[in-house]
Amino acid sequence: MKKVPQYKLRCKKCNKVFEEISSIDDRNNIKCECGGDTEIIIQPIVTHFFVPFFHPNLTSKPVYVKSKAHLKQLDRKYNMTSYY
């Protein structure tokens, strides 16, 4: 099965923005409903970078959790809330 990308396009004639599924070969031949030529809108790629977070009540050293009971004990000690 061939994967076909979905493009976000803008009509050069009426400025309508729409999405169209098309093969890579046909991506430049897509027309708007009004008959105008289209241009592909390049969208930014969302990336998430890991940023270490240190709770203000903790030191900058990592805290190693041995069990759920130990985690609850650390929650009480450092006045934190965990969801595990």
pTM over 0.75: no
Q: What one-letter code names the amino acid at 16?
A: K
What ranges do the domains of the chain cover? Answer: 6-40, 53-84
Cβ proximity of 17 and 7 under 8 Å: no
Cβ proximity of 49 and 80 under 8 Å: no
pLDDT reported for residue 45: 67
In tens, the pLDDT along 32-83 reads: 999 899 998 887 766 656 555 555 655 566 777 888 888 888 888 877 776 6
d(CA 27, CA 39): 9
